[in-house]
Every structure is written in C-alpha cells, then in structure tokens.
Structure 1
Amino acid sequence: MTRRKYIVTGACGYIGKKVVEKLISKGEKVIAVDVKKDDFKCEFYQKDLNRIGALDYLIDENSIVIHLAAHANVGESLIDPLNDFNANVVSTINVLESLRKKNGSMVFASTSSVFDLSNKAPLTEKSYKKPTSPYGASKLACEAYCMAYARSYNLDIKIARIFSIYGDDLNRFVIYDLIQKIKANPKVIELFGDGKQIRDFTYIQDIVNGLIFIADKGIIGEDYNLANGRPIKIIELAQLLTELLNKNEIIISPNNIANAGEVTSMYADTSKLKELGFLPRFSLEKGLEKIINGL
C-alpha cells in the first residue's frame, strides 16, 4: 500500500510551520512548500504557486494538500487588491489544476473575513457571505473555486474557515497587543470602542489539529468553521489577562470611540465540526496560560 503524503503550502508561515511540525511528530510523510526559503526536518521545495504547474510533479493520488499559502493582510489588500488576487486566487487555481491532473485531495484554509458583518452571531457555515475587504473577497473566490472543482471533477476538497488565532510566537493581533500593554504596567489601559466587541479566539494548536482532522475526517465538498466557539467581550479578555499576569490593579478603560466598519460580534457556531468528532483541547484560559508561562 502506497503511503500517503501531506503537502503543506505556505509552510514558512505561522500556521504552516506548526502544521509541518505536528505532522512530522505524528510520523507522517511531509513535503513543505513555500515561496520563501527555510529549514525543515522534511522535504522542502521553494515554489512560486503563481506559476502554472508548480506542484504538478509533487502531487499524486496519495497526496493531501493543506493549502495555507496566502497573502493574509486586510490592510495591504486595500492598498494593492490586484496583488492580493494573484497571491490568493491565482495561486489557489494553480494548486487546484495540479490536483485535477493527479487526483489528489486538499484542505483549503479560508477565513471568517468572508462573512457579512451584519450577520447575527454565532456564525454557521451557512451564514451570509459578504466580505468587506479585497482580502475577504479573494478568499471567498477561492472557496467558490474549491467547491466548483470538487463538484466538477469529483475531487476530495474541504474548506476550513479559520477565526481569530492566538498562540506562542504570534507577535501581533489583539491578545499579543493586550499582553504587551499590560506588561508595561500602566495605571490605565485604554481600549478602543466600548470594550463590548465580541470575538472568538482559538489557540494555534487547536487550529493545527483541526486542519489535520478535517483533512482526514472531513466530508468531501464541505466547509467547516474552525474556531474555539466561545464568545468573549474584549473588555472581559483584558480583565482575564490582567488576572493571569497578576496585574489586577490596572484599570481597563474603554474610550468609546468606535472604529468605522468595526464588527461588534464575530464568533463561530462549531457544531458541524463537533458532529464529526473534533473538539478544541485548549480553553481560552488554558491557551493564555501557556502563552504567559512562555514569556
């Protein structure tokens, strides 16, 4: 019996590196692919996925592609939407073409940015899609192509729609910014808005495990919300972090200045993935404690 192999695109990215490490620890055959160069304890190929056929000789019928390669920056997508389209949509179509030729399978990593901001949370896989940035639009276009290829060519393709991530060595986004502010030990921490914005934060290892689970157990042609599924207000998150960092004396002060277009409530209904048997292992408290213990 021919051994299956995982091909991880975007392997030099934050999620990609963690996925490669996890698969290697499980004893799987892994091929890492990225446009950048890096050192891996597995086969590595430096490939530009914008080039037609870049993966043709790597993919075969035993291949499982975890497609993480993307330009994932909302702000930069607003400045240069064409670059975003090429980096996300064109590269994904090229991967799909290689899959079609060789009959491989794939998990496509999408984003909660595809959803309509006016949706009532929790968001299910069927919630209305209406992206507000070129980045979100490019990922929704990728989703559409993935499903079209799955149906047209009977390919084993699934979508993992990732919500807000936090984790070790991720030096950006809300949780990192709050931790840095609290560590500076000010008397007051100012929050933008009223602090009542609701988010859904998922620890990196649950994202990694979820992607691999969907690759192995997901139903062909289906999409899955990959998130913790626990809503929390930003002001509650800030208070939790002050407690975990033993900085209870710090005052959390919302400035009540609303950012234009800001989402007030964004969290996932994860029941579809739970029905398949996947549950996150890290509660928010447990994940935050791991980050703080590593500081």
Structure 2
Amino acid sequence: MPKSLLVTGGAGFIGANFVHYWLGQYPEDKVVVLDALTYAGNIANLDPVKDNRNFSFVHGNICDQDLAEKLLREHDADTIVHFAAESHVDRSITGPDAFIETNIIGTHSLLKAAKKLWIDEGLKPEHRFHHVSTDEVYGTLEADDPAFNESTPYAPNSPYSASKAASDHLVRAYLHTYGLQVSTSNCSNNYGPYHFPEKLIPLVITNILFNKALPIYGDGKQIRDWLYVEDHARGIELVINKGIVGECYNIGGINEWTNIDIVQLVCKLMNDTFAEDSELAKRFPEAQAAISGDAASLITYVKDRPGHDRRYAIDPTKAEGELGYVPAESFETGIKKTLQWYLDNEEWWSKVMDGSYQDWVESQYG
C-alpha cells in the first residue's frame, strides 16, 4: 500500500538525496517536503523531482506546529522522515541558539503534531516517525577504541551534538510516554551530490577550482567514517520498512579516513582529472595548482577548533544483521562520483557560494 511521507529538511543535502531515492524506488508514494530554506536548504536540490505528480514542496519551519498538523492532515501522511536540523559544528560554536531552536524545539513541535493527529485523534494507528540523528551524539573515540554501537553512552561535545542528543531523547520519550511509533538512525559523515560547500569534501573541491587554501584543522589526523549519501538513503529505507518500532540503528560506511588523507586523495583525483580532460583548464582557469598537477600545495594547517572530536566510527552490525544493510559504494567509487558531480554542476554550487540563491529565496518567500 502506498505511503504518504512528510520529509522535513528535504531541500537539504541528505534530505534531498533521500527524496530522489525514495520517489525512484516508490513512484506511487506521496512525498511532501517541508523546509525553511535556510542557508543549507536549496530548493534547486529538488529539481530532479519537481515535476513528479506525487511530489510537493512547502516552505515553512518545523517549529510551526500548526503548519505541521495541517500538512499531516491535508496529505493524509502516515510517515514523517525528520532530517531538518542545524548541522554545522563551527556554526554551533559561534551561534548555538539556532541549534537549540531548530534541533530541540523544532523536533518537539513535530512530535506534538504527530501525537495529536496519529494518537490523540486516532487518524493513523499504523504510522512511523523516523528521526535522523548523527554519530556525534556519542562523543569521541580514541584511535584503538571500538566503533560506536547502539549501546554506546551519549557524550556530546559541541552545541550541535548536544542539541541532536536532546532531540534523540525526546523522540524516545514520545514512544515510551505516548506510544508514538518512532525509530532513530545515527549516521556517520555523509558525502555526495548537493553537499553544502562549507563541508570538508565540497570545500576542498571548490577551493581547488579557485586556487584557494585548503584549511586543515590541527594536525589533520581527525578520523571520520564516510558514508555515500545514497547509501544513507538506502539505510533509512530499510529502517522504515523493516526496522522495529522504538529501535535505533547505526548506519555507517565502514570507511574510516583521516581528514588529511581525505584532502590529499581529493587533491590527487583533481590533478588526475585535470590531466585527463584539457577542457577543465579552460572552464576553471583559476585552478592553477590542479592544472599544474600540484593541488596538494594548497593545503594549509590552521588552529584546531574548540571541542573538535578526534575520531568517529560507526559499527553497523545491528543494521546489517536485522535489516540487511550493506553500503553499495566504496569510498573510491563514491568520491569519484562526487567529484564529477561538482565539476558538472558549477551553476548549482556557484549560486550557493555567491549568495545569489539566498537572495532568490528572500525575493520569493520574504
């Protein structure tokens, strides 16, 4: 039976990739995206599905409980997939208030809306509120520590991760207090198409194209577990369709890399790509280091940021055993796809970086 999904934050990086994936897999399902179109949300991310008859977009804030109730009622939604979140650690350090508002208050507004319609009014006895969280709620790991699993105690170290941990606890509370049918997934670092250019991998790619410095925090030996974004979408699909109500599932790429090794790999791939395609030098004449085959010369070490966790790593054994989750992309295949997407989609990232997209949002939505 077709589902009707309300996807919050569906114009963001991970949310948009999930919407593309879901409508490709389930063309009869209805998908409604609710997004505030803040700096990290981009309606252009949804261009691949904008003409799909079962897709619709609503500009709005998850803190608006009345709007959430209205959308759940109008679209007869039985599933919420909750991506909407402030998610950049650096921004949470300089401006934590927005993270508290969106990640905690916003999540609670959605939970209240779902409870009111699905439980209090009994409109959808069978429903699912799926909450997308992060591995950062678990804190940090030493080099020889075992990877995070679903039993790892929470120990957030930044305003961002603390706000996500709080939202995770609220979701759990609405199951045990009110019977809301919830699930949670905690993912490792995502990468892929439509990734906002302030994040590490797209930042390195675009900075190389402009011959700008590639900033590396501290010694660059921080370790992250990288997950191709479509593999994340596939993992969420499995949780929604096969996951047990009330359970949490870790979705990881089984793919640990230090930040400096990531940057050096992207530099090498950019050197190779420019060497193989002479047209790139014409399209990106400022990319002198890559044109000369020495993109790594742009690497610059900068002071480490406060509260910078040393290592994250996800143990996806539970998702593998219970749901059959296995990443389809290796890092080598995924990073090549990602790099090529950025080279092919200059118009998208240039509008994000020069502010013209946000100017357009203001003109359209005020």
Matched, 1:49 2:62: yes
Q: Which of 282, 286, 289 is residue 329 of structure 2 equivalent to?
A: 282
How far apart, in 1, do the equivalents of 2:161 and 2:10 lie? 21
Partner of 2:204: 178
Is contact 2:141-2:310 (8 Å) kept?
A: no
Distance 1:115 1:292 in 2: 30
Distance 1:161 1:84, change over 3 A: same
| Mapping of residues 49-88 of structure 1, within 5 Å | 49-59=62-72, 63-88=78-103
- Equivalence for 1:32: 33
User: What is the one-letter code of the residue matched to 2:178?
Assistant: Y
How far did residue 50 of structure 1 move?
Answer: 1.4
Distance in structure 2 (CA, Å) of the matches to 1:121 and 1:196:
18
Offset of residue 8 of structure 1: 0.5
TM-score calculated relative to the size of structure 2:
0.71
Change (3 A) 1:256 1:70: closer
User: Letter of the aligned partner of 1:266 in structure 2?
Assistant: Y
SS in 2 for 1:54: helix
CA distance in 2, matches of 1:47, 1:165: 25
- How has the CA–CA distance of structure 1 residues 280 and 152 changed in structure 2, closer, same or farther, with 3 Å as cutoff? same
Change (3 A) 1:206 1:102: same
User: Corresponding residue for 1:15?
Assistant: 14
**Residues 223 and 256 in structure 2, CA contact (< 8 A), matched pair in contact too:** yes
Q: Which residue of 2 aligns with 1:217?
A: 242
Secondary structure of the residue aligned to 2:307 is coil
Residue segments in structure 1 that go unaligned for 5+ positions in a row: none
Among 290, 314, 322, which residue is 1:268 paired with? 314
* Correspondence for 2:355: none
Other-structure match for 1:111: 134
* Residue 166 (structure 1) shift: 1.1
Give, in angstroms, the shift of residue 249 of structure 1: 5.3
Q: How far apart, CA to CA, are the structure 2 residues paired with 1:48 and 1:96? A: 14
Amino acid of the structure 2 residue aligned with 1:168 = P
2:361 corresponds to: none
**Partner amino acid, structure 2, of 1:158:** S
Q: 1:44 to 1:180 in 2, by over 3 A?
A: closer
- Structure 2: any 5+ residue segments left out of the alignment? 119-126, 273-289, 344-366
Shift of the 238–43 alpha-carbon distance from structure 1 to 2, 3 Å rule, reads: closer
Return the alpha-carbon distance in structure 1 between the equivalents of residues 115 and 234 of structure 2: 26
- Give the match for residue 6 of structure 1: 5
Contact 1:121/1:265 (8 A) holds in 2: no
Using the alignment, how far apart are the partners of 2:12 and 2:57 within structure 1?
14
Judge conservation of contact 1:122–1:268 (CA < 8 Å) in 2: yes
Instruction: Tell me the alpha carbon deviations over residues 246-271 of structure 1, each in whole angstroms, 9 at most, x when there is no partner.
Output: 26756577859655433222111111
CA distance in 2, matches of 1:115, 1:279: 22
Identical aligned residues as a percent: 27
Aligned pairs, number: 293
Asked if residue 291 in structure 1 is aligned to residue 338 in structure 2, the reply is yes
| C-alpha spacing 1:189/1:77, structure 2 compared with 1 (3 Å) | closer
Whether contact under 8 Å (2:7, 2:15) holds in the other structure is yes
TM-score between the two structures when normalised by the length of structure 1: 0.87
- Which one is further off, 247-256 or 276-285? 247-256
* Distance in structure 2 (CA, Å) of the matches to 1:51 and 1:211: 25
Give the deviation of 1:236 after TM superposition.
Answer: 2.8
Contact residue 121 and residue 266 of structure 1 kept, 8 A: no
Give yes or no for the alignment of 1:100 onto 2:115.
yes
CA RMSD, 1 decimal: 2.8
* 1:97-136 Cα distance to aligned partner (Å, 9 max, x none): 2222233311101122212225634111222212122221
Q: Give, in whole Å, the separation in 1 of the partners of 2:162 and 2:115.
A: 24
Cα separation, 1, equivalents of 2:226 and 2:300: 20
Of 170, 173, 181, the match for 1:156: 181
Instruction: Tell me which residue corresponds to 2:350.
Output: none
- Deviations, residues 42-76 of structure 1 (Å, cap 9, x unaligned): 12333332123322243368611101112223333
